[in-house]
Amino acid sequence: MPIRMTDDDKEPEEGSKSKGNSFFLIAIFVFLGGLLFKYPKVMIPILAIGLLGLICIGSISDDSDAEDEKSTESASDGPHKLGAKFDAERYDRAQVYEPLSEEYGNEMPSEVSLLKYAPKRQNQGEQGSCTGWAVSYAARTILHAKSIGEDPNKISFSPAYLFNQNTDKNCDGAYPVDLLDDLKKQGTLQLSEFPYNENSCRTKPTTEQKEKAKEFRIEGYQRLTEDGEKYETDIESVKQYLSQGSPVIISMEVGGTFLDLNKSVWLPTEADYQAVKKYKKGKDKSGDWGGHAMTAIGYDDNKNGGAIQIMNSWGENFGNKGIFWLRYEDFNQFVREAYAFYPPKTFEPNETFSYQLGLVDNATKEFIQLKQVTSNLYQTKKPVKIGTRFKVSVKNQKPIYLYIFGQESDGSSYVLFPYTDKHSPYCGTSGVRVFPKKQSLEVDNVGKKDSIVIVFAKKQLDYKSINAQANRSKSNSYLEKFQSAFQTKISKSSQFSEGGDKMELVSTDHNPETVDFIVIEFAKEK
């Protein structure tokens, strides 16, 4: 393809590592063999002791090395009920958030708290319903209270509405992602309309209640991990959502000293660390550890070296009035899952919003100059040298769905972003993103011109179908291929800047059915 994606950071080849290790081991064996031949009575006992030592070290490291994490059920023993089940396949199905770039002017406040939008910390009692409390009662209430400016205690959502539909007959836990799916599909009800009963989870919503719950559906959610195949929670993504007013649902492994926490900061002990490692591997037999869903509501970069503020569902006697802080350094050891709702899209009547787009040269960190040819067709002012590596920079004021396409040397189209089906096209937080995140686009020596298309949409698109429609077009123009694919959905009111460092799209079109797109062409030179 004319524009290739190449890795930004290449790891040392495994082959070179193994060759070096093999040579080192051979040298040791030759040396020891010589000593054994010369001093057999001395060396045989020494080698025997050394072999036993290696066996012991191997057994110890088996417990301390990287975890082979297992799907788990929630534990029910101990002073508090838990209830967050974990399944690797379910977590994998959730799409990954594309974070704001830390290098391109995205400044976040050093501390944020959504506590004033949170309802009173209540107690889930003798039911493993923490997922309902985290997803509906805490997170959905906070988002709604912030949006409409009402007292969260007067509009709080029911923990039972979603939980009762997703747990087993014993009310013993649920998978967080199942509740999130239902919150997207059917919504939830307020606590005053669907009461919580810790002694029963049998009550299910009526047809009328389900109809009313639709008013409080969310548009979607994303998992906040390092990447599609890297499941470690990305703390920067958590902070980005919190800084823009969105709570984050977490599933955390808890036990040990956490269960009796009566202060504002939890500082896990070494015993807690060892126990959680065993639990994640399925080796913990104590029954003291399990998965527990809670809601992250803030962060503070200066508290204990940086910490996340978390709301629990064990009443106000836990932590500090039901709230505690978890240090950044402990977060990924104990938090297994993290999800954020799509922020609600709100437009004032006739509100103007804009998007900015540019191409950033990796070598100079400067923008490649653009010139406007027609309304939404741009070209680089100068030819771009073959081998130039660059990224696409996009700045959004409002939540958008973003898609990027590239043109093959034979004129056909392919998808550049989303990278895979696991990556979410939704850019809910406002700010600057660069694409690709851990790779770069590189101009190769095939053909004389390359083209890319960037699409801005207000609702999720079937981007594979759009790409297929573009490929079915008989036109030789990449611009016309996408005009044909979108047809009447192209916005009529958007205005495009003349170019320069970046192009800017300004619009007052709030119609969710319309889209905007631009084409950037660049000539190539050696």
Tell me the two tokens of residue 2.
């004319």
Asked, for residue 50, whether it belongs to a domain, the answer is no
Q: CB-side exposure of 400: number of CA atoms within 13 Å? A: 28
In a shared domain, residues 361 and 279: no
Boundary-marking domain end, from 313, 341, 369: 341
Answer yes or no: do 337 and 357 share one domain. no
Q: Is 211 helix (H, G, I), strand (E, B) or coil?
A: helix
CB burial of residue 183 (10 Å; 0-12, 13-18, 19+): buried
Distance CA 299, CA 318 (A): 19
Q: Which residues contact 449 (CB under 8 A, 6 or more apart)?
A: 521, 522, 523, 524
Residue type, 132: G
CA distances from 20 to 23, 25, 39, 58 (A): 5, 9, 29, 21
Nearby residues of 44 by Cβ (< 8 Å), 6 or more positions away: 36
Let me know the angle formed at the C-alpha of 83 by 328 and 138, rounded to the nearest 5 degrees.
60
Instruction: Give residue 206's domain range.
Output: 88-341
Which one-letter amino acid corresponds to residue 147?
Answer: S
- In whole angstroms, how far apart are CA 43 and each of 24, 38, 301? 20, 9, 56
How many domains is the chain partitioned into structurally? Answer: 2
134 and 226, same domain (yes or no):
yes
Query: Which pLDDT score is estimated for 55?
Result: 43
In this prediction, residue 8 carries a pLDDT of: 79
Q: Digits of tens for pLDDT over the chain (526 positions)?
A: 556 677 876 444 434 444 444 444 444 544 555 555 555 555 565 555 555 544 444 443 444 444 445 555 554 456 789 999 999 899 999 999 999 988 776 789 999 999 999 999 999 999 999 999 999 999 999 999 999 999 999 999 999 999 999 999 999 999 999 999 999 999 999 999 999 999 999 999 999 999 999 999 999 999 999 988 888 999 999 999 999 999 999 999 999 999 999 999 999 999 999 999 998 888 777 778 999 999 999 999 999 999 999 999 999 999 999 999 999 999 999 999 999 999 877 778 788 999 999 999 999 999 999 999 999 999 999 999 999 999 999 999 889 999 999 998 888 999 999 999 999 999 989 999 998 888 888 988 888 889 999 999 999 999 999 999 999 999 999 999 999 999 889 999 899 998 889 999 999 999 999 999 999 998 999 8
Q: What is the pTM of this model?
A: 0.85
> Which residue, 338, 140, 354, is CA-closest to 239?
338
Contact 359, 386 (CB under 8 A): no
Q: Can you say how many angstroms the Cα of residue 349 is from the centroid of all Cα atoms in its chain?
A: 32
SS (H, E, C) 414-469: EEEECCCCCECCEECCCEEEEECCCEEEEECCCCCEEEEEEEEECCCCCHHHHHHH
226 and 99 inside one domain:
yes
CATH number at residue 264: 3.90.70.10
DSSP code for 350: T
DSSP state of 157: B
Token pair of 113 as six digits: 């708290």
**What pLDDT does 446 receive?**
86
In terms of Cα–Cα distance, which of 276, 95, 251 is closest to 175? 251
Same domain? 399 vs 334: no
Residue 526 one-letter amino acid:
K
pLDDT of residue 237: 95
- The pLDDT of residue 287 is 77
Phi first, then psi: give them for residue 495, nearest 5 degrees: -120, 145
Identify whether residues 337 and 359 lie together within a single domain.
no
Q: What is the pLDDT of residue 459?
A: 92
CA distance 170 to 188: 22
Same domain, 416 and 268: no
Q: Does residue 72 sit within a domain?
A: no
* Torsion sign across C-alpha atoms 2, 403, 465, 423: positive
Q: What is the pLDDT of residue 438?
A: 81
